Amino acid sequence: MARSKSGGKSGGKKAGYLHGFTAKERQRLREQARVLEPWIYDRLPFARCRHLVEVGSGVGAQTANLLRHYPEMRVTCVERSPIQLAEARKWLPSVPWAKGRYTLAEEDATALSFGRESFDGAFISWLLEHVPDPARVLGETRRVLKRGAPIIVNEVLNATFFLEPYSPRTLDYWREFNDHQIEIGGDPHVGAKLGNLLQTVGFTDIVTRVKVAHFDSRSPAERAEFLTYWTDLLLSGAPSMMAAKRVDQRLVDAMRAELDTVAHDPQAVFFYAFVQAEARA
């Protein structure tokens, strides 16, 4: 079983971390937050929220977006990795609207140190796919929320990925990517299970929205931008998968060649869907 470097306190079983903690990955998280912003921020329930907890906040990429969309909000960022926190500590001061409005806490999402009902909103993005016990993370998050407070959870549903022209080596790599994530304790299909998970730990008013990124020749510029983002996402797993001997350089090169073909095909199609869940504590 591959284990990537993470560090920090832990309140339970710990999964490996597929994407790693390189400088390139930290930059990829900021780019991801930028590219996905129109899907994530189109109808969030935080208008009356004044103190939100962001669980699994990484380098603070979503924190910056949250603070820009909600000028009266403060955010407490919970993150287990000291490497990600160090980057957030370095980068967030360069975000003008964030000044004095966030706190960074090195914590494990499965065992939060905050008291009951400490926050009036919660936001979780791309964390539950990496943890062995997502219900425990959601249960802890609910405990620290005021009753009735809103939560938003964004999560992957990797079974939905499709590319035209047909790209079999990319799909081979993708299957290994997903199987590797499962092997190291995560769940690449957790988006489909958010309704069940939220209900299990007591959240109410649960709504799940399937967010679709579907690009073809009607929007070539967006298709090209998304494909670049997606290529970086795929490659972010390569070092961890190569160390685990799941993929080799030949497969990575074959995938790169296919993605290059897709990028140059005027009839190319990209399709992916993730799930955004909204609920009340």
Ligand X SMILES: C[S@@+](CC[C@H](N)C(=O)[O-])C[C@H]1O[C@@H](n2cnc3c(N)ncnc32)[C@H](O)[C@@H]1O
Distance CA 78, CA 55 (A): 5
Which residue in 274, 279, 277 sits closest to 230, CA to CA?
274
For 260, the token pair is 């290059």
Report whether 153 contacts 259 (CB < 8 A): no
When binding is defined by CB under 6 A, the residue of 16, 20, 28, 29 that contacts ligand X is: 29
Which residue in 127, 126, 88 sits closest to 109, CA to CA?
127
Would you call the peptide bond into 134 cis, given omega within 30 degrees of 0 as the criterion? no
When binding is defined by CB under 6 A, the residue of 33, 53, 254, 277 that contacts ligand X is: 33
Q: Is 79 in the site for ligand X (CB under 6 A)?
A: yes
Nearest approach in angstroms of CB 213 to ligand X is: 16
Cβ proximity to ligand X: between 61 and 104 the closer is 61
Distance CA 280, CA 121 (A): 9
Q: Is 56 in the site for ligand X (CB under 6 A)?
A: yes
Which residue in 116, 281, 144 sits closest to 204, CA to CA?
281
Cβ proximity to ligand X: between 56 and 237 the closer is 56
Distance CA 91, CA 64 (A): 10
Distances (CA, A) of 13 to 84, 113, 187: 20, 17, 14
Q: Is 275 in the site for ligand X (CB under 6 A)?
A: no
For 31, the token pair is 């780019």
When binding is defined by CB under 6 A, the residue of 28, 49, 53, 62 that contacts ligand X is: 62
Nearest approach in angstroms of CB 94 to ligand X is: 16
Contacting range for ligand X; rule: CB under 6 A; set: 124-132, 176-184, 197-205, 220-228: 124-132
Which residue in 265, 232, 272 sits closest to 166, CA to CA?
265
Cβ proximity to ligand X: between 61 and 268 the closer is 61
Site for ligand X in 146-185 (CB under 6 A): none
Contacting range for ligand X; rule: CB under 6 A; set: 104-112, 164-172, 222-230, 257-265: 104-112
When binding is defined by CB under 6 A, the residue of 49, 53, 61, 255 that contacts ligand X is: 61
Q: Is 109 in the site for ligand X (CB under 6 A)?
A: yes
Which residue's C-beta sits nearest to ligand X?
58
269-280/162-164 β-pairing: antiparallel
Nearest approach in angstroms of CB 29 to ligand X is: 4
Distance CA 32, CA 274 (A): 13
Q: Is 125 in the site for ligand X (CB under 6 A)?
A: yes
Size of the site for ligand X (CB under 6 A): 23
- Positions that interact with ligand X (CB under 6 A): 6, 17, 19, 29, 33, 56-58, 61-62, 78-81, 84, 108-110, 125-127, 130-131
